[in-house]
A and B are shown apart, each in its own frame.
Chain A
Amino acid sequence: MMRKILFTVNDAPCSITCHPAKTLLDVLREDLDLTASKECCGKGECGSCSVLVNNEVVCSCLILVGQVENQNVITCEGVGLTPHLDHIQESFIEEGATQCGYCTPGIIVSAKAFLNDVDYVPSVDEIKTALGGNLCRCTGYSKIIQAIKTAAEKNLKELGTV
């Protein structure tokens, strides 16, 4: 039972025809070739597939595409593409917060959503709470914490100069 589903991905309208019970992750990766979002556990445990639906972080492996009809989806590609990087992406590079990089897009999405909600430099504890749903096996997270702080500082600086 195929169906046409309309939604917005990274600010562009999108129409796909597929089974409405296909996961959003599979639609992004297979139908739209947006492969930044990864499948790692398929159970909502690791956050590698994190995307924003109406600015809320969700695991796209747990969402069916029918559920995002007429909704607004942002993936890591929507946060920024080379060479026009978002502050959070620049900061990840500067602080060395990516290693193998497989979890990185999901973490960028979660961090971006978190930073959208704060207008100060968050504490380590706040960052740990916000990013608690994203697993990384390479970095030990220290540089991820630092990168989020650095990005918050950049955001504030930019606001100050506006």
Chain B
Amino acid sequence: MVALLALCALMTIGITVGIIVMLIGESWNFIQSKYVSLSGFLTGTEWTALQSKDIEKAEFGIWPLLSGTLRVTVIAMCIALPCGLITAIFLSEFASSRVRAILKPTLEVIAGIPTVVLGYFAVLVVSPSLQFFSGGGFDTFNATSAGIAVGILCLPMVSSLSEDALHAVPRALREGAYGLGCTPFETAVKVVVPGALSGIISAFLLAFSRAIGETMVVALAAGTRATFTADPREQSQTMTGFIVEMIKSENEYGTVQYFSLYAVAMTLFVITFGMTLVGQLIRRRYQEVYS
């Protein structure tokens, strides 16, 4: 029986190995193609895998997709990190139990909303309002509306993980700060937050990797043109957005476009896996510092 249970546990390692083998194997097929070079993939600033009718002229440079991903992610983080952290401080330091009883379920509900719904929300509400307030300065599909929706998506995650970290700071530190005459603001910002910094940073990293891997929102709201720019008003296809676009185009198995899917997924996996790993390690290393 124990052996069976151990087998279950080893299966999880098998999944990781499976992902890595699959990504490397299929990406290898992509690099082997005569239309593609590794250096062109890593440094190219044009991505026209699906736009070019002629495979000879298709460009496979990852940077437009990376820049699209980064634009969306940075906008999302500009919303999720400060708002999430402040919500966490509010919940753990100030909120009365009655306010908590409203705020906590609200955050849980937001966390449980399917991402395709938030994508629809971005198209239905966020993008038209942006166009309205900017006087038409935004494309219909743009990085900002997708970024805002992804930010909403990440906010509950940041706030609940940060709140856990803030809770772990012992009460004595707060009492010490109050005893020295600190205001609640000073106690929260100068004592409690630094005390929980490792947990907060790990929450930030996890949210960052979640935002990078987010798919349905960007597939609906960020557009299908891969642009290498820093302008958040333009269309910006992300790595995940390209994968969806590619699947929708129903290219046959074995074409270069098909294998490019895996090269993009590999890039995505390396980035998110690295960030999650660092986040986990930070949390593990400093987690029990107070106990």
Asked if chains A and B come from one complex, the reply is no
A contact residues vs B (CB 8 Å cutoff):
none
B contact residues vs A (CB 8 Å cutoff):
none
